[in-house]
Amino acid sequence: MEKVARKILEYIENKIPLNEEQRDYVYLGLQLILESLIEVITILIIALILGIFIETLVIVLVAGVFKLISGGAHCTTFGSCYTFSIILYPLSGIIANYMIITNYIKLHHIYILFSLIGIACFFYAPSQISIKPIADELRFRYKVTSLLFVMMTFIAVFILYTRDYRVLSISISIAMLFQAFFITPLGFYVTQVFDTLFAKLAAGKGVDP
């Protein structure tokens, strides 16, 4: 991944002169884009094979947007993040699909679910990691934005649910709950445990994590 990012960076530098700081930003951005692209493509291929493509696509998109606003736990390496993502997102799609097929989710469940999401955002958003701290003056802005996003999403889910768009309404709800969990201390703990376990397994097999 690093080699591909460097090749693209070299091409960009041939077209546009960059200083050292700009070069670092572009390089990190390219790495992030390439890694995210590989993750999403793999997740959607798995979802397509499992017959949960729409549910998983909605979850990936909604959770991704929510994460940009609210922050959340991150794995420390691409290998760990990739493995965690291709397990969790299809699993969330399977859960959403089951809820849709069984018609288990009722409107009062959605009220409760979004209340919990709102509480998580109120106390923990924007959630941050030590290597990517959020400036104090931006924390309030991100918190308000996160809460507004939850409110707007709840309204959208309510409308979709009452108009019988169950696939969309339930998938969006699962996505919001999924991301809200990973801004909480428990979400950070689960991510850290997986990260540590993956690093040990990778080291035992002599694989670069």
Q: What is the pTM of this model?
A: 0.87
For 83-135, the pLDDT digits (tens) are: 999 999 999 999 999 999 999 899 999 999 999 999 999 999 988 654 455 66
CB environment 149-182: b (16+ within 10 A), e (fewer): bbeebbeebeebbeeeebebbbbbbbbbbbbbbb
pLDDT of residue 176: 97
For 28-83, the pLDDT digits (tens) are: 778 888 888 999 999 999 999 999 999 999 999 999 999 989 988 888 888 999 99
Q: Which is more confidently placed, 22 or 92?
A: 92
Q: Which is more confidently placed, 22 or 70?
A: 70
pLDDT at 205 over 70: no
> Which value, in Å, is the radius of gyration of the alpha carbons in the chain?
19
Burial of 197 (0-12, 13-18, 19+ CB in 10 A): exposed
What integer is the mean pLDDT of 5-11?
75
**CA separation for the pair 112, 157 (Å, rounded):** 13
pLDDT of residue 204: 73
Angle at 24 (CA atoms; ends 22, 25), nearest 5 degrees:
65
